[in-house]
Structure 1
Amino acid sequence: MDAVITLTRPLAPIRAGLARLCTGAAPTLFGPACVASLLAGVGTCLLLPALPPRWLLLVLLLAGVVGTIWRSPLRPLGALLFGMAFAGMQAASTLDAQLPPDLQSHPFTLRGRVHDLPVSDPKRTSFEFVVDDDERQPAALRGKTLRLGWYDDDPRSRAALRAGSRWQLPVRLRAPRGLRNPGASDAERYALAARIAATGYLVKPTQAKQLALGSGLDAWREHMSARIGAAVADPSSRYVRALALGDTRFLDQQDWTRLRAAGLTHLIAISGFHVGLVAGFFALLVAAAWWCWPSLCRWIPRQFVAGAGAITGAFGYALVTGMAVPTLRTAVMIAALVATRWLRRRQRLSDTLALGCGVLLLMDPLAVLGAGFWLSFAGVAWLLWCLPESDGAGWRGQLRGFLSAQAVASLGLLPLSVVLFGQASTAGPLANLAAVPWWSLVVVPLGLLGVLIDTIHAGWGAWLWNASAWCFDLLWPAITRIADSPLALLWLPESRWYALPLALLSAFWLLLPRGLPGRWLALLLWLPLLHPPLELPDAGEVELTAIDVGQGLSVLVRTRHHSLLFDMGPAVPDGYDAGERAVIPALHGLGVRQLDLGIVSHGDMDHAGGRNAVAAAFPMQVVLAPVGSPSPGSKDCIAGQTWEWDGVRFRILSPDEGVPYLGNESSCVLHIETAQGSALLAGDIGNYSERKLVATQGVGLRSDVVIVPHHGSAGSSDPAFVTAVGARLALVSTGADNRFRHPRQQVVRRWCDAGTEVLDTSRSGALRVWIGQDGLRVRERRSDLPRLWDAVRRRGQSAGLCYAPEQ
């Protein structure tokens, strides 16, 4: 890396800032110091577990405005206070606009417009819907953005749902609510950042009424995407759509897996480079007109109109492709560069980047909740910080600069990629060396030129799109081979809060100029990020994690050297799969490398639905399931089976051998015993099987921790069973506001009256329980990592359904 990366005046901005402070000079309003302080203020506010009172936010806002406007060396402090208050007020306003609790599950008939591009699956179409802002709509929903699902087995009934079209829809709504698991995305954070007021579904799809056809930019974008799909054969067409228009709806899970493994997802989404291409094309186009008609220069200088063309192209393309953070950042930076040229001022690129960041934060401080914000600005900042202004003339200098940029981007963005996505692409540097120049300079320009020409005359862009696809196909097989390597993508467990700053410090240290002593000691600072402590149980101890999968069940059981997965979460055919969305990210986040055993308690989809997805990511040596259950490739789960891992004893209590499959009542029941305590995982058994276990097992049912049978339904948790188990802690796995009303109040009260503490994943998120030398320890995901957008806390709900009495 020493041969490739050099650093030109790395401490110059810091020295300049210190000099200004020492001389009493005020930092520039949109300079790096003030913008960094503004960003720090916004980030600090959004990391708080709860928002400060409105009056305090108002005081901080006024103090921040005064401190920022006042030309003083303390101007960055004013920017910090302003950022905290501004972000807090924006977050409070957005959260207050979400659907109030008293309107949850209430039916509405709403009129509005389909926003952005609808995503269609075989049995569902999901889309954003902007409600009309008029008196005929409910006051709580006027002008709000909703995230809706249209469920119908016949996709033809949903074919008319197009971007930009207007509809009247019968819906049922609820405030944004998501699952909370290690390693998984946060739907409630996304709803805040996207300003989603409610989520819901169509209750009577046959009563949906189209009011107007699609119009506007979204409709044009969808129409142009369809034209690319008709002109270019699959599989290349879906990549041309993504690269030219940012339409990633047609990329399947395998496509995304390969792109992540190759470290190329940043190229598939519309990037800043795409905006630069469009801006440059428009600038050349306008300048060419002035060259052809020199007399125009008498009225308006060519430099002025070329800059105006660049700004028009940049912001126009950003609008067309959805105003993603990278596109908006580049558009603002282009506008700033053009403005400095117009004003005949010299401005450093770092100042331009700071201006772009500051403008974006003022436009939308909640943008920092998205990964795109950090990757976009951090990538450019690393390049500006570490690369020299010129690598010399000729192809050697250009090659050296390109290799330097790839090395800096790979090393500098690795910490953010690990923290944001829990993964690191080892194949990324190699794949980017080929894909970045080829896609950016050949594939993307051909696709964009096709869009422009086809907009002028329908049908003329087809040959350019096919040329773009042909060029894409030349490189894609090689990238596929790289991405399919088993070592191409490394999944890393969640790290502690201090891992990211240490890794960023290490990257900065490694990129310092040659000759500085101790540079390679910086590698030690990567350890907290790349090899974090996993809190594995000691020998003779056991850990249980009830993963938050919604209305279903999946429990990870770990000893010192072994892992077992009991049930794999719910899934809907051709629809939502908790195995993919919740279980797999949680296993990665918890640092699971392999599963030694899987148990499918019974064949219902809320327990077995995620099996295929989990098995693809974590091949299991053995899978147990009841005899006769619809679980192919499994060995029989029969009462009496026993084994021991790391001093922990496992025993199957049910079903008995020779008994026909009875659905819920045939669920596998697993008992886990250590020297310090025991746990019982009961699947979906009901009162019949519970009484049978009480009769056959007696005191053998005694457990400190129990997974409440059948999610706490009215037909389970028989009083005799509750007494026989005598649990100190009962865990319930349910979905929030589920239609079954699980867990039933009488069942919860039955466990509470027995002196048991009852916790529910729908309120607590993932629940981790340790049974060991320190007794019984519990960690609730929502309480462990509180967030100001947490839906449970905002509704005033306690995490536990009941707590054990004080001893």
Structure 2
Amino acid sequence: MFHTHQTPEHSVVGAPGIVAFSCGVILLYQLTLLPPPGWLFLVGLLMVSASLLIRQGTMRRLVRLLALLVLGLAWAGWHSEARLAERLPADMEGKRLELSGYVCELPQAGSFSSLRFSVCVVSWHSEGQQGATPVLPRRVRLSWYGRNDQALPGHRLRLEVVLKRPHGNLNPEGFRYEDWLFRKGYRATGSVRAVALDQDLHCGWHCRYHAWRQTVAEQVHRHFSDAGEYPLIASLLIGHRGYLTDRHWQTLRATGTIHLVAISGLHLGLVAVGAGLVARRFTLSVPAHWLDERRRRIAGFALVILCCLFYALVAGFTVPTRRALIMVLVGGWYLLLAREASVWRPFCSALFLVLLLDPFAPLDQGFWLSFGAVAVLLAVFSGRLAGPGWLKGLVLAQVAVFAGLWPLLSGLGQSQPLAGLVANLVAIPWVSLVVMPVLFAGALLVLVSGGAVTGWVSSLLDAVLGPLMAWLQWVEQLAAPVSVLTPEASPFLLALLAAVVVLLLRFPDRVFRLMTVALVGAWAVTAVLTRPAAINPEVVEPEIRVWDVGQGLSVLVRVGRKALVYDTGPEVRGVFSAVDSTLLPNLRALGINKLDRLIISHGDSDHAGGLVQLVQAVEVGQIQSGEPEVVAGILDEVPGKSVGQCRSEPFEWHGVVFEFWQSQAERTGNDASCVVRVHHPASGSDVLLTGDISKRVEAEMLAPGAVPWLRKAVDFRLVLAPHHGSKTSSSAPWIDRVAPDWVIYTAGYRHRYGHPHPDVVARYQLANARPLNTACSGEIVINLSKHGPKISELRHTVPFWIQGPGLTRDQCKIP
């Protein structure tokens, strides 16, 4: 594939060809439909054959580049098709199934005292499963609840499980569980009902590797679990991050240092440097007539690769470690050859090998960040006649990576914490020069001594890791005030800024440097000092977004520059928050800096979850609730926030009228829910936000004169089914009076509550209301045009692994 010694005219591939192949692989994951890989391979090969008949050089190279792009698309498509072929049939969801397999990931503590682990399935035992079509999942993600602190009985297991197909909340921004499951190869998730040891299960090389790693993890836990910084020790030594607490993650996120506990290029690079120095020292002690220079280089290269491979295997051979191992392998190979070649050649070679061996790599943010960081460093440091010195080089590298990755992080929907620049200036050299050497030396001493020096080594590790966490926590305290000084900019401006900084560091001309620093400084100061007040982007037509938050409710209403949120979705403290995973990412993506009104229907955790976080992150105007005392109690820790009653005068935003209603009899619980009518006279449309009202409150609404607007005829009416479609709500008389054209159920996929109830669905069907369910549709958007409302479902525009034929959302049905 690589003919690096050829002239450009005769090179078959070269760097442009590698880039073309890589673009083909990356392009696949932008598609909503999976193209047939067989046809793509055929087209690519025909294009290669056609290029042999073209005599004109430029046209021949262009055709070959297009052929490589198509072949890259085919390569990724072939692997995706094979992965999607593993499928749990719909009729097997929710049933008790028996399977045998081995644990292929270190178990971790989960929520509600559960144990989370992955099983590579060897065989299915339940009747009708073994010959099932399509291919049953080979890898499943399981949670074991109610285990009473029991550990797994062994590595090879026979389990009774209840499974469901891959599914997660689907919104334009925020974490997508379905993306993560597809990337990791999990084709089903579920819970364990019974587990037993299966000694008769055949254990191949992959099984034996995971059993060995489990043994290593147990030994590390036995020796170091008493250390105060054991979560960091386990993360850095064997790549097991299951012991990191929420406090750890909060600090690492705020300081931009999560990469320190994800074994990747930094850690394998340190191993490579250490092994290279040891190999060089050893080989130089061997007489020259025994080992010439070429053999010394080969021996050093072999030792580096073996040490890096061993560390990668200990760390679980995860995606980041494999990617880093390939980079070390390619970089070491080019150093071994010692040829005069562009530094971009091994970079392109590593890119090609990563995508060839793992075509799912572009789905990882780490893929973009790691190659982006390496590209920035190569652009800054390659070709220099003299090194900048270690201190100056460290500062230059940190500034370059910080500025260079800023637009990339922005494009990935993440922020670039300014405090991270300060944190990494100390953390990276401390981890590189102190923590990792002490960690490796200490682990080796414990191993050689049989554990005799464990206490001394643990104390030493606490002594070097303690200051690291203290430094990060100190920087974390600066993160919030420093973030105010971070200028806001468009992606284009960030990319321009990154390019200017990289050029400045690469070509340090004094005049150019002074001019650039002055311009960038003036821009940053001006951007901070003239930062406008919270002003939202303007929408031409009123827009209502029903977010997919699982078993809960959250709605965004936008009119002009005004914004209203009705409910904030569910929250399980320390486990999940719709505000964190859905509301805040989507509000940021929409450019919404201020909520003019926040209405909490009532105080239940599936409607008022993450409330404090939302109010602290976004400017909020007036707050109303059906349970104002409960909501005010939740907001106790936020000073200056009062909560008003639900019942208030109607108000109007640019032709959209908002009206409120609440039961006169109830002041607590579901029946206290604040009901909001969003009325658009220009299109004659109503949208009813109903909270969790029950049939009793519905009957109160139907009383003469209780709700005057309910008796008014409209051209279109959409209702959010009360209480997510529970059988305690949506009575037949109420549905008849409301007469909805559409009904939206906001329920979790195969949730234990079973919403929406089949009887409720049948009643809406009798009323000729067209149903939608966020569990199937994902986010639902209603645009109130003067010509009538337009309703769109996100599932129709998402990638092929979410909405492809035969997959979960394609076959998702409302009961």
TM class by smaller structure:
0.7 to 0.9
Q: CA deviation at 1:263?
A: 1.6
User: How far, CA to CA, are the matches of 1:616 and 1:710 in structure 2?
Assistant: 28
Q: Which residue is equivalent to 1:26? A: 11
CA change 1:714–1:243 in 2 (3 A) is same
Equivalent of residue 381 in structure 1, options 375, 386, 390: 375
Residue-by-residue CA offset, 1:750-798 (whole Å, 9 max, x unaligned) = 4455454432211221123344656534343222x32111147544866
Q: CA deviation at 1:92?
A: 0.7
Q: Which residue is equivalent to 2:746? A: 733
Q: Which residue is equivalent to 1:507? A: 498
Q: How does 1:525-544 map to 2 (within 5 A)?
A: 536-537=538-539, 542-544=542-544
2:60 corresponds to 1:78: no
Equivalent of residue 51 in structure 1, options 30, 34, 45: 34
Letter in 1 for 2:677: H
2:381 corresponds to 1:390: no
What secondary structure does 1:197 align onto? Answer: coil
CA change 1:576–1:425 in 2 (3 A) is closer
User: How far, CA to CA, are the matches of 2:634 and 2:320 in structure 1?
Assistant: 46
Letter in 2 for 1:382: V
Q: CA deviation at 1:336?
A: 2.7
Contact kept in structure 2, 1:46 and 1:88, CA below 8 Å: no
Q: CA deviation at 1:441?
A: 1.9
Scaled by the length of structure 2, what TM-score is found? 0.82
Structure 1: stretches of 5+ with no match in the other structure: 1-15, 803-807
What secondary structure does 1:219 align onto? Answer: helix
Q: How does 1:568-587 map to 2 (within 5 A)?
A: 568-572=568-572, 575-587=575-587
Q: Which residue is equivalent to 1:261? A: 254
Q: CA deviation at 1:224?
A: 4.8
User: How far, CA to CA, are the matches of 1:220 and 1:491 in structure 2?
Assistant: 48
Q: CA deviation at 1:149?
A: 1.0
Q: CA deviation at 1:271?
A: 2.6
CA change 1:44–1:68 in 2 (3 A) is farther
Q: CA deviation at 1:669?
A: 1.9
Q: Which residue is equivalent to 1:8? A: none
Q: CA deviation at 1:83?
A: 0.4
User: How far, CA to CA, are the matches of 1:231 and 1:774 in structure 2?
Assistant: 68
Letter in 2 for 1:113: Y
Q: Which residue is equivalent to 1:222? A: 217
CA change 1:636–1:293 in 2 (3 A) is closer
* Greater mean deviation of Cα atoms: 627-636 or 759-768: 627-636
Equivalent of residue 89 in structure 2, options 100, 105, 130: 100
Q: Which residue is equivalent to 1:370? A: 364
Contact kept in structure 2, 1:638 and 1:652, CA below 8 Å: no
Q: Which residue is equivalent to 2:553? A: 553
Contact kept in structure 2, 1:37 and 1:79, CA below 8 Å: yes
Q: Which residue is equivalent to 2:638? A: none
2:619 corresponds to 1:624: no
Q: CA deviation at 1:91?
A: 0.5
Contact kept in structure 2, 1:60 and 1:85, CA below 8 Å: no
Residue-by-residue CA offset, 1:327-349 (whole Å, 9 max, x unaligned) = 32332233234434555544433
Equivalent of residue 666 in structure 1, options 662, 672, 679: 672
Q: Which residue is equivalent to 2:304? A: 310
Contact kept in structure 2, 1:391 and 1:397, CA below 8 Å: no
Q: How does 1:369-518 map to 2 (within 5 A)?
A: 369-390=363-384, 392=386, 397-459=389-451, 460=453, 463-484=456-477, 485-488=479-482, 504=495, 507-508=498-499, 511-512=502-503
CA change 1:761–1:421 in 2 (3 A) is same
Contact kept in structure 2, 1:318 and 1:328, CA below 8 Å: yes
2:795 corresponds to 1:788: no
User: How far, CA to CA, are the matches of 2:322 and 2:761 in structure 1?
Assistant: 51
Q: Which residue is equivalent to 1:10? A: none
Q: CA deviation at 1:362?
A: 0.9
User: How far, CA to CA, are the matches of 2:144 and 2:747 in structure 1?
Assistant: 23
User: How far, CA to CA, are the matches of 2:325 and 2:806 in structure 1?
Assistant: 37
User: How far, CA to CA, are the matches of 1:699 and 1:340 in structure 2?
Assistant: 79
Letter in 1 for 2:309: F
What secondary structure does 1:358 align onto? Answer: helix
Q: CA deviation at 1:88?
A: 0.6
Contact kept in structure 1, 2:536 and 2:592, CA below 8 Å: no
Scaled by the length of structure 1, what TM-score is found? 0.83
Q: CA deviation at 1:142?
A: 6.7
Q: CA deviation at 1:684?
A: 1.7
User: How far, CA to CA, are the matches of 2:329 and 2:770 in structure 1?
Assistant: 59
Q: CA deviation at 1:301?
A: 3.2
Length, aligned pairs only: 760
Contact kept in structure 1, 2:99 and 2:125, CA below 8 Å: no
Residue-by-residue CA offset, 1:469-511 (whole Å, 9 max, x unaligned) = 323333433432332332455899x99xxx7678546633553
Q: Which residue is equivalent to 1:138? A: 130
CA change 1:190–1:500 in 2 (3 A) is farther
User: How far, CA to CA, are the matches of 1:476 and 1:412 in structure 2?
Assistant: 26
2:99 corresponds to 1:110: yes
Using the aligned pairs only, state the percent identity.
28
Q: Which residue is equivalent to 2:756? A: 743
Residue-by-residue CA offset, 1:405-435 (whole Å, 9 max, x unaligned) = 2222112111221222432212222222222
Letter in 2 for 1:470: A
Q: Which residue is equivalent to 1:172? A: 162
Contact kept in structure 1, 2:557 and 2:565, CA below 8 Å: yes
* Greater mean deviation of Cα atoms: 210-219 or 674-683: 210-219
Equivalent of residue 263 in structure 2, options 263, 270, 276: 270
Structure 2: stretches of 5+ with no match in the other structure: 202-206, 636-641
Letter in 1 for 2:240: D
User: How far, CA to CA, are the matches of 2:663 and 2:440 in structure 1?
Assistant: 62
Q: Which residue is equivalent to 1:601? A: 601
Equivalent of residue 180 in structure 2, options 180, 190, 198: 190
Q: Which residue is equivalent to 2:780? A: 767
What secondary structure does 1:445 align onto? Answer: helix
Contact kept in structure 1, 2:727 and 2:760, CA below 8 Å: yes
Contact kept in structure 2, 1:67 and 1:77, CA below 8 Å: no
Q: Which residue is equivalent to 2:720? A: 707
Equivalent of residue 642 in structure 1, options 642, 645, 649: 649
